[in-house]
Structure 1
């Protein structure tokens, strides 16, 4: 299976599991709140359930990568996405909504590590960074799609989630038919837990954790913040999520950029841009230029950043690519889970302006880390 074909089936699956199943909650939150009337702290807690589910699922995907074939894990990802999205669509209260968000969130953790394994087996070495980065950019496609659907179905969030569930069914069928039925090979998983590799991964772990804390505020509350500001242009309120997703396509170039300019350069640029996007939102969201630049910078840099983390992680955990992707993504999600809860509390006490400025400061702190390909 060549890289282009793998991108063609993997990108839509990531679009479904990340864009539709996970990050759509922040987009749909204003409309869900009109029906369920949740406090910011409750909204933040429910958002954290998605990240907690992601953590649990990605641990499962990594640990079981030598026992269950990548294709089987991806089937589980598709099923959890379908079930979770369906429950969200019919949720009568916050408790049921939380269950749906949790189950849908599982799909993200199940979906990423298997593709890293398949890429390492099926794609030639020089094209692996680009292939992983483009599959990862599916998040931006899913985000843009959810934003576009929400513009035209703003008063029908339940129907929107039913549509998402149907799309998830179609994508699962395509992956089931197209992906190779890899046999399960015994891997030296224990080698991934060697002291030497874990020492090399310390900066990766802390960087992933802090980046997750920093960007969780944006994913959870940015659109809810913008849509309730009176001085923000209507087009920006409606198309905010679409702008994030469309800009995310630029993040698919991470692998190419790293190959040409180096991992350190790519990491620092992505941190600066990602943090600045939150700063712009906190200091002047009503400014037409800054208000537009913020989602453009966030969407492009977030996808780019996750591409950087993939390359950094796989360079540390060379024997098991699933761990190389799973470890930084696990810590990223753990930071997002904690950050979503903290963000809800800060938003409730000090307001959104303070929240986004604080998030940018946490992001800038991660510039102290220096990734390298070992």
Structure 2
């Protein structure tokens, strides 16, 4: 019997306990690997630049390097999860996050900082895909969108923690990184202990071969293209928003507070799964893309106005986490026969965008300035809306399509 059936037949108190046991460690792991290890770099970048000697161009290249390492581990996690189960990649995610952030905290030059950021960035690649299989096994069908939206929005919760830590410690950016290390170790221990050693797949002999034709087909193509665009547009915010606000005249505390507001807004996005159940995946995704583009445009035009900046941060936090949650739910539909591998493909597409976004933006800032660069990112995010979940009529057409892939051999 599948775990979700057992959960459905359990008493209400047991259902709540099982649900929390699933989503709390998952959200915590995503918070430390994404919100701290991956996006803490953009938050603490201004102080690191002055002490370690990192130019805007170098900062963009370092960020792109972190996304490239994420891409590598995001591909490796497919094999690791299938062969060893979700517990191993979850433990590796926490370990890499702690190791990378420790390196950054002790960096004395750009090269050392770059190595630490790249190692920390690799952690996120191992963290998220295993939870696609865990949610599919542990959560009842009616709660899967909510479970997934809570786990995936852990990114914002990490940012919400990182912002106040950075504000409280001021220029002590090394101590901030070490604080993040402690949180990563704690979250990693809990998440690893509570993760199942193996995930059961019904009808394993019928699982698809992990081939190019299975990953990229008419069903998945819009999802993958939208992931590339969302990754490229959003990465500009995560890497350069604090720097842009500082350049516009806001204080370090104000800029970091805006970053924290962005993270707190993820709490709202945690309930995007319920919104999907009410208005549908297509409408939820379109609304999220529109809000994301509006947030980037607003911060571009109002970088010197704190009220507008905070509004933009709030919108971006809600929109980014909601659109990532929508893509996760969409991925579970497209790649239903092997959720973790499908989500890894989506994360890979997202990463291709995040690799190019910071590198191009770092160069564009020198010639176009922060305002035009952020506006360009807003356009990229808006274009993603054209690659949205299919309409009812389109779903009927796609239902007839069969991906050509051989069964997995035992």
Shorter-normalised TM range: over 0.9
1:50-65 counterparts in 2 under 5 A? 50-65=66-81
C-alpha separation in 2, matches of 1:103 and 1:274: 28
SS in 2 for 1:351: helix
- Superposition CA RMSD, Å: 1.9
Matched, 1:345 2:363: yes
Could you tell me whether the CA contact under 8 Å between 1:215 and 1:359 is conserved in 2?
A: yes
TM-score normalized by structure 2? 0.87
Shift of 1:72: 1.1
CA deviation digits over 1:44-84, x for unaligned, max 9?
00011111111111111123322121011101111111111
Structure 1 residue 134: Cα displacement: 0.3
Alignment of 1:6-155 (within 5 A): 6-155=22-171
CA distance in 2, matches of 1:180, 1:196: 26
* Match runs of 1:240-279 below 5 Å: 240-279=258-297
Instruction: Please give the residue correspondences for 1:183-222 in structure 2 after superposition, counting only pairs within 5 Å.
Output: 188-190=207-209, 194=213, 198-222=217-241
SS at match of 2:388: coil
In structure 1, distance between residues paired with 2:228 and 2:89? 25
Q: By how many angstroms is 1:235 displaced?
A: 5.9
**CA 1:289–1:152 in structure 2 vs 1: closer, same or farther (change >3 Å)?**
closer
Mapped pair 1:161 → 2:180: no
Q: TM-score, structure 1 length as denominator?
A: 0.95
Consecutive unaligned residues of structure 2, counting only runs of 5 or more, are 4-17, 400-410
| SS of 2:108 mapped into structure 1 | coil
Match of 2:13 in 1: none
**Residue ranges of structure 1 left out of the alignment (5+ in a row):** none
Q: Aligned equivalents of 2:290 and 2:343: distance in 1?
A: 22
Q: Equivalent residue of 2:198, what SS?
A: coil
Aligned to 1:307: 325
Deviation, 1:229, is 2.1
Q: Is the 8 A contact 1:315 1:324 kept in 2?
A: no
Q: How far is the alpha carbon of 1:298 from its aligned partner?
A: 0.6
Q: Deviations over 1:108-129 (max 9, x none)?
A: 0100011111111111111111
Q: List per-residue Cα deviations over 1:189-215 (Å, max 9, x = no partner).
A: 416754596221111111111111111
Change (3 A) 1:145 1:196: closer
Q: Secondary structure at the residue paired with 2:303?
A: coil
User: CA separation in 2, counterparts of 1:177 and 1:195?
Assistant: 33
Aligned-residue offset at 1:340 = 0.8
* Alignment pair present for 1:321 and 2:339: yes
CA contact (8 A) 1:44 1:220 kept: yes
User: Whole-Å Cα distance in 2 between the matches of residues 326 and 254 of structure 1?
Assistant: 21
